[in-house]
Amino acid sequence: MDVVHVESMKRYPAACNTYDCPRCGPDKAYFNGQLAAASRPERMLTLTGAGSDFQETRERVKTLLHRMRDRGRAFEFFWAVEENPRGTGNHAHGVQHGDYCAQSVLQKVWGAIVYVERIRVEVEATRYVIKSAASNYVTKGTTVDLDAHRARNGGRAAHWTRGFMRLDTGEPQTATALRGVLGRSSMPGPWLMVPSHVSVSREDVRRLLTAQLNHRGMVA
């Protein structure tokens, strides 16, 4: 199925935007990585020794964030739990913008080795968050086995702090708003759903919309 924007007649493949969908799930995970790269992260972080229990890891990450903010540090973070290829456990891979926090301080709070690397150019940020055209760094597990990746991450592909997504101006934005800025349609309705293989004219759309409104009792 496709959706058609009634006013502009622009047409898009219908998307449910859920991780459970075999088509939309990987697309959603990939696009989240694009949003992270567009938010211009400044540092790459690897938190080793994340453990196998996601709820425990999430609490450790939240503690890390709180401790940094208690120190007066601005610390916005986009992250996901990844399996160590060597089979020695999990790491939390992420990108961060805000104030610089010393590696020694991060390690003391996290309780394990933390690797910090500066992102020098936007292209490098994109390569880190989106390692290739088909794969994320932070969420690279989604292209291998999305179900396994989500199991490690509490059902999601990635996690981020409220202030992480931002415009070029530095103004914080929700992920939904940023999707619209980057081209994922956020135009107000009405929208109509039509079969993918059927071409429709503006008159067809007008009739379909009238029929839909009549069915709902919204047209006198």
How far apart are the C-alpha atoms of 38 and 30, rounded to whole Å? 13
Residues 95 and 140 in one domain: yes
Q: How far is Cα of residue 211 from the mean position of the Cα atoms in its chain?
A: 37
Residue whose structure tokens are 């709070």: 109
pTM over 0.75: no
In a domain, 150, yes or no: yes
pLDDT tens-digit series, residues 184-204: 455 566 777 777 778 888 888
pLDDT tens-digit series, residues 66-108: 999 999 999 999 999 988 877 778 999 999 999 999 999 999 9
> Can you give the pLDDT at residue 182?
62
Distances in Å between the Cα of 116 and the Cα atoms of 13, 141, 159, 186 are 40, 21, 19, 35
The count of C-alpha atoms lying within 13 angstroms of the C-alpha of 195, restricted to the half-sphere facing its C-beta, is 3
In a domain, 19, yes or no: no
Task: Answer for the pair 79, 159: CB distance below 8 angstroms, yes or no.
Answer: yes
Q: How many domains does the chain have?
A: 2
- 10-47 core/surface letters (b: 16 or more CB in 10 A; e: else): ebeeeeeeebeeeebbbebbbbbbbbbbbbbbebbbbb
In a domain, 146, yes or no: yes
Residues 208 and 148 in one domain: no
Residues 165 and 204 in one domain: no
Residues 37 and 83 in one domain: yes
Strand order through the sheet with 11-13? 11-13, 2-5, 191-194
Q: Which domain holds residue 202?
A: 2-14+187-215
Residues 68 and 95 in one domain: yes
Length of the chain: 220
In a domain, 220, yes or no: no
Mention every residue, 6+ apart, whose C-beta is less than 8 A from residue 80: 92, 93, 94, 138, 139, 141, 149, 153, 157, 158, 159
Residues 108 and 148 in one domain: yes
In a domain, 81, yes or no: yes
* pLDDT values of the chain reduced to their tens digit, one per residue, 220 residues: 777 777 888 877 777 778 888 777 887 888 888 888 888 889 999 999 998 899 999 999 999 999 999 999 999 999 999 888 777 789 999 999 999 999 999 999 999 999 999 887 555 555 555 443 223 445 555 555 788 888 899 999 899 999 999 887 778 877 777 666 665 455 566 777 777 778 888 888 888 777 766 655 544 4
Residues 57 and 77 in one domain: yes
Residues 147 and 194 in one domain: no
Residues 6 and 100 in one domain: no
> Can you give the pLDDT at residue 214?
65
How far apart are the C-alpha atoms of 184 and 191, rounded to whole Å? 15
